[in-house]
Structure formats: structure tokens, C-alpha cells
Amino acid sequence: MKVKPWALLSLGLGAVYFALPLIAVFMFSLRGEKDVLGFSAYMHVFQDEKFIESFLYSLKIAVLVIVLSFILIIPTAIHVRLHFPKLRSTLEAIVNLPFTIPVIVLAFGLIRLYSGTLTHSVFLLVAGSMVICLPYVYRIIDSGLESIKLKTMTEASASLGASGLRTLFTVILPNLRTSLIGAASIIFAIVMGELTLSLMLAWPTFGPYMALMGRDYAYEPAALAVISFALTWASIALFHLIGKPQGTKK
């Protein structure tokens, strides 16, 4: 297939726009010692126990948010598409509300509502993160359901005697693999970088750790940004690897 020159130009400009800031941050991170390019800033970050602790803590939160978001959104989106199609516009308006509500307002609301009961529970942080991710996850999953002709698939599966649960796990979810990987990647990226909610709820996640490093050091925050970028993309690549269909070579 012949590729048009303007397409290559657009791709090249996009790559340069994306790569230049990363290169600049990486070069700055190497100046931890005066007049020497080295990895002293990286060594300082890796020697800090709170680095691994905060990253692993955010990783656990991200996994919980992914699982619970899928449990909540997938059945809801399927049920509305199959049985209440006229309510889709109302549901879309509801899931888009987090775009209009600042995260700090969400955090104060959660603290005020659950004060004395779940204030010190990690599930309050998980629930808040689910709300922040809701618009993106719902849109990705809903678009995936639209592309697979959901009604035709479910009717065909039912005509062959499959139960609703079996249809979900053997027909719908395998065809939503790409959408689910995309949604999981979005959730992971958002949770790993979330700052306001974690600070307000006082949980030691990766976002506040990066903010504290930026306050107290000069070159370590740049090194931490490069490391977190690499770790985040490695984790997203792992999602894609896990979600790859068995037997595929690409």
C-alpha cells in the first residue's frame, strides 16, 4: 500500500513533537553532578525506598480500579444497548459529569459524605479514581460494543442455547479485547499520575511522591519523570501482551 507524503510528514512531526520534550527532560536529568553527565539522579531515586513503595501502591490501586470499573460499566453498557437504547443519551450525559466537576470538589465531597465511616478506607480512593476514569472507560467500551454488532451476536448466541453469562464471557468479551486493553491503559495512566485525590485523602501514591520530589530536589524529579514514563509504558505494553489472542504471531 502506497503511503502518501503528507501522511509521513504528519507522522514525523507528531513523533518530533512527542519525542523532543522527553529528550530534553532526559538530558536535564543527567546533570545531577556539576559539569558531568551521569546517572547520579537516577541512583538517588532508586535508593529511595518510597519510590518503589509508592509505585507499587499506585499499581495496586490501578488494578482495583480496572477490575471494578469493568464490573460496573460493561454489564451496564450492554444492558442499556440491548434493552433501553433510548436511555443511551441520558447515560452518556451522566458519565460525562466528571468532566465538569473538579477533582478537588470530588475529594471534598467524598470526605464530607463518608466522614467517620470510610474516610480511612482505601476503597474511597478507588471509588474516587473510578469516577475520574468513568467518562473515558465508558466511551471506549461503548464504542467497542457498537463496532461488534452486539444485538446480532447476543441473539445468535441465545439461539444456540447459550446463557447470558456464557454469552458475555465467550462471545462479547473476546470481541471487546481491544477496547478493554485500551480502557485498562487509560485507567492505568490516570491512576499513576493522580495527585489531587491522593493528597486530599492522604494516601501514599505515586503522584504525591513525584510532587514531593519536585519540591525538594532539582534533577531527581526529571529522572523520576523519565523512570515513571518508562514504567508506565512497560505496564501498558504488558496489558497488551496479556490481552493478545492466543496463537497470534504479531
Give the pLDDT of residue 246: 52
What 3-state class would DSSP assign to 82?
A: helix
**What's the pLDDT at 1?**
55
pLDDT of residue 250: 44
pLDDT lower than 70: segments of the chain: 1-3, 118-119, 242-250
Residues in Cβ contact with 46 at an 8 Å cutoff, skipping those fewer than 6 apart? none
Q: What is the pTM of this model?
A: 0.82
Q: Which residues pair with 33 in a beta bridge?
A: 36
pLDDT at 248: 47
Q: Is 48 helix (H, G, I), strand (E, B) or coil?
A: coil
Query: How does pLDDT run across 148-190, given as a tens digit for each residue?
Result: 888 888 888 888 888 888 888 888 888 888 889 889 888 988 8
